[in-house]
Chain A
Amino acid sequence: MADGSNEAFVAFERVQKSYDGENLVVKDLNLSLPKGEFLTMLGPSGSGKTTCLMMLAGFETATHGEIKIGGVSINHIPPHKRGIGMVFQNYALFPHMTVAENLSFPLEVRKMGKSEREKKVKRALDMVQMGAFGGRRPAQLSGGQQQRIALARALVFEAELVLMDEPLGALDKQLREHMQFEIKRIADDLGITVVYVTHDQTEALTMSDRVAVFDDGRIQQLAPPDELYEAPQNSFVAQFIGENNTLEGTVETIGSGRCTVKLDQGAVIDAVPVNVSQKGERTRVSIRPERVEFNPQMGPDAHTLEAEVQEFVYMGDVFRTRLKVAGKEDFVVKTRNRADQVRLSPGEKITIGWLPEDCRALDAT
């Protein structure tokens, strides 16, 4: 912790926040990120992401705890002195100013000379490929263009830390994917630190260096995207990130790195214990749909389950098969569309299996 705080650029230390004095919206937040990191706060609506961002930006005060930038507490620094760039969900481009005036605004309040301002505005506009639009009003731009301008405005005064609160929420899917790539590229080019808020997990996974999964005012897991997907630390994260199959049961045996779980319906399977610790504990095991195999040829100690096909959906690049497994009808398997891939039809009975290390025994809540 001691050497960690030295290199931490932004740090939340034991931060709590309550709006009404009764409920904690943010409960004991500890988070530190090094310079240059792209960190995403991901979580369902109402989980406190915006609140955290607003506290960092200075528009809300923390009820308890400290927020530091570059090792200095900023709890008592007003927002306009924090030097943090911010992109709002509705962009908040000033409607009565042209695009160029919008970009020039942060430079003007910093009392920058005219020629220098113009130079920087031009560079920022070119960076988001909007060089030709300086004279327009925000209302004369499409949503995607406004988004670029908002981004340019947050970057034009060379903030080292940029906050973005669901900046792509209002765009259609195609444009959103394009902008995700664009934002990431610009952030990497400039080497800025970004705290990005979204409730869209694909966005979080594709853009971030690390993702903080929020729920109920707490960080449920803070990890790089691959780890988050492949090694969720609890069932909330497993459920929230990507598609996931869960089976409920009780821990029968538990050893180091391996346990057996007796499913409610009777079958016994192997799993990796993640947050179960003792025999007899209730658990939910989690298996990703693409890690399941039909009619597996596995070692003698691998457990297999009987399944009945409920539905087969052709999705182009993958097939999505819904199965009835261990009494549950929403068990999904995804298989790649290969020439030799079998296409099952409803009613067929098959066996399925998976590697024990792909099956994680998590908490039951």
Chain B
Amino acid sequence: MSNTRIIVVTSGKGGVGKTTTSASFASGLALRGHKTAVVDFDVGLRNLDLIMGCERRVVYDFVNVINNEATLNQALIKDKHSEHLFVLPASQTRDKDALKEEGVERVLNELRDMGFQYVVCDSPAGIEHGAVMALTFADEAIIVTNPEVSSVRDSDRILGILQAKSRRAKEGREPVKEHLLLTRYSPKRVEEGEMLSHEDVRELLRIPLLGVIPESEAVLHASNQGQPAIHMEGQPVAEAYKDVVMRFLGEEVPLRFIAAEKRGLLQRLFGGK
């Protein structure tokens, strides 16, 4: 058996940047030479393939594989940037109940047998069936959170569900490893007191911080071009995602893009209470 790591990208709250993160994180792992699959669990919406720019090549999807209507090999789409990255798209036409637990487990085991080092699971929003399926088999979880109270609360909620419903929890194995990823971070708005600071969020959720992704218009441009944001050379958001991948792989990388730009002025301390 290979030592595949299954990583769920989840949040509870919708629209916080899970798909953006799944695409960039998986691409980053592949850029570093790791054989990676990114799986879209958001059945019914089918977003990941657009962000990955492979929507025109979707013939079979995750649900087809679960229902044995196609093989995994037929459904996996090779990424246009990296030979190490494959996308397993979601179905647009089914509902979330199509994700049967045994089926999901079988597909993940097949990915394991195919020698994938990392399987990144892009979770739908919410705490219902689809989100639970995405986290059930996870070894690690990236909790995508925006610096605002409602997002933090939902992240907290999903952490509780991870503790209760993951296989690791149910089998009494070592718990799922939790990582906090702050996205859409605007240092300026933090300074103006309109947003929580990364210290605030870390203090509220009490899990290790994997990174801070700045708010950036480049994300929208990237998705219009069908490119994961990590490929936007020179953009802070791309650099921040690369840092996240490095930290995930165990390297020590200082936080960047967390201070508002203010030349010649001492940066103010964030969010002191």
Are chains A and B native binding partners rather than an unrelated pairing? Answer: no
B residues whose Cβ falls under 8 Å from a Cβ of A: none
